[in-house]
Chains A and B, each alone.
Chain A
Amino acid sequence: MTEWFQSTWMGPALGWFVSTTILILMIALPLMLAVAMIIYADRKIWAAMALRRGPNVVGPLGLLQSFADGLKVMLQETIIPSAANRGLFLLAPIITFTVALIVWAVIPFGEGMVLADINVGLLYLLAASSLGVYGVIISGWASNSKYPFYSALRAAAQMVSYEVSIGFVLISVVLWADSFNLSTIVLAQQAHVFGFLNGFGFNPLLFPMAVVFLISALAETARAPFDLTEAESELVAGYQTEYSSMSFALFWLGEYANVLLMCALNAILFWGGWLPPVDWAPLYAVPGIIWFFAKILIFFFVFSWIKATVPRYRYDQLMRLGWKIFLPISLIWVFLVSGYLMLTRYGA
């Protein structure tokens, strides 16, 4: 597509700019739509598990509920508390939202369907997702209110703790795939186990890492049972307490975009990304992007399921799980994986 634009009257520079902008919009706009629908799905699943109906009034089956909510917050007034630090207060939701969008640049949706096919893709993801915590910290501090502040402190500690074990999980995947590039990681999973199962998750040595990653992903996105940053029984609405209108909606959208990202990462790192689960020729007739979306949706269902089922952790339990259980396990696993690869792939 870039070549086509560059071959028209626009020339190389402008053609590149226009085509990249169009590609970015092709990711960002469907992502926003997906976030709206996923919020609806989340509420429906949650309601079904609590034997309620969930949203069912706006549109057929309540499908338009999220759009109605979006319209509502857009028409509301943005209230800035008089004691708040004005600039930072408004900057925080923008950071959260922007960071939640920029990480999608390196996600491969199919063979060659990736905006930025950089060779440090996984590191870029880590770098960008570690920026996400700033939205929360800054909002907590700038609100100048005690509940958001507590929430910000919790969020900072929680994200830093779980990023450590996520880092080790990623290292064992990278060791096996021999690359930081996400497309290469997906391709390395083709016929990985017994010559026909696509996915590192089917590998008994990597399966525990897949579980650790799933749980760490819950903690990283502050979803239940690790949603201590917005524990409504303790902290009202956490760092979003003082926010209203669009500034609140940006947090909301960013949060769900992050949840989708973590689902996508689960699919890419452990369950074969755009590849079908089994390496069997007829299955490749289905376009890769459909397999990828199906995997994302399955993981999102798991996220909602957990949210509807599991009670919230206490803060010290959360820290114990991160530092005393996941960190040693993932560290030992890095040793195991690299030792195994040293023996088998690289010779003694």
Chain B
Amino acid sequence: MIQAFAFYLFAAVVILSGALTVLSRNPVHSVLWLILAFFNAAGLMVLVGAEFIAMLLVIVYVGAVAVLFLFVVMMLDIDFAELRSGFVRYGFFGLLVALVLAAEMIIAGGAWSAGSLELSQRAAPTSGDLPNIEAMGALIYSKYLYIFEAAGLVLLVAMIGAIVLTHRERKDVRPQNISDQVKRRPQDAVRNVDQPVGQGVEL
């Protein structure tokens, strides 16, 4: 009973906050609703026994991705009138995308319930008592090792690409070089001169 209650609670909050993400007028509120949606999706994951995925969802999406989202959105100069002006223009495309998604979901649901897909083939590999970190680790680092490493490489390339694209060398700033400062000795920095009167010091 309590499981059903928890499921409907989490699911309802996910849908509600998803809807409010789209409907909120203030982008910052949108991001916060999105975070609530992520958080409750993690709750749903816990309910199906995927506690590792749930924690990853919170750590990665709520803890890092959404923070950066919020970071960017917070600094935006929000013009509410302009935000809503494109509604009619983009409304049609939005509706189209929604229709395509809905159709796909209905087809997928129909195919799944028709049962001709080999359901036993896509069953979870874990036996109930193995913690799912170990189960996933055993699978990722043996059967799917190359795919996993390839995914890691793709992410690395993306990261380096983003840095290369956005990095700019500024000539007008003088960054602090701490090792230079530590290496500097009094004899390099100070010079005693006995200068005759009337002549300037040569630097």
Contacts and interface: CB of A to CB of B under 8 A. Distances in A.
Interface of A is mostly: helix
Contacts of A152: 74
B63 interface: yes
Contacts of A316: 176
Most chain A CB neighbours (cut-off 10 Å) among B35, B63, B64, B131: B63
Interface of B is mostly: helix
A131 B70 contact: no
B133 interface: yes
A118 interface: yes
Contact of B55 (A124, A134, A137, A159): A124
B146 interface: no
Contacts of A133: 63, 67
B74 A123 contact: no
B55 A88 contact: no
Contacts of B74: 137, 141, 149, 152-153
Nearest to A321: B178
A141 B2 contact: no
Given A131-B63, A137-B67, A163-B63, A123 B52 contact: yes
Nearest to A119: B131
A130 interface: yes
Interface in B104-151: 131, 133
A130 B63 contact: yes
A156 interface: yes
Given A13-B2, A131-B62, A141-B74, A156 B133 contact: no
Contact of A160 (B32, B35, B68, B176): B68
A222 B69 CA distance: 22
B62 A119 contact: no
A49 interface: no
A141 B28 contact: yes
Contacts of B2: 13
23 contacts: A13-B2, A119-B51, A119-B133, A120-B51, A120-B131, A120-B133, A123-B56, A127-B55, A127-B62, A127-B63, A130-B67, A131-B62, A134-B67, A137-B67, A137-B70, A137-B71, A153-B74, A156-B71, A160-B64, A160-B68, A163-B63, A317-B176, A320-B178
Interface of B: 2, 28, 32, 35, 51-52, 55-56, 58-59, 62-64, 67-68, 70-71, 74-75, 131, 133, 176, 178
Interface of A: 13, 88, 118-120, 123-124, 126-128, 130-131, 133-134, 137-138, 141, 149, 152-153, 156-157, 159-160, 163, 180, 316-317, 320
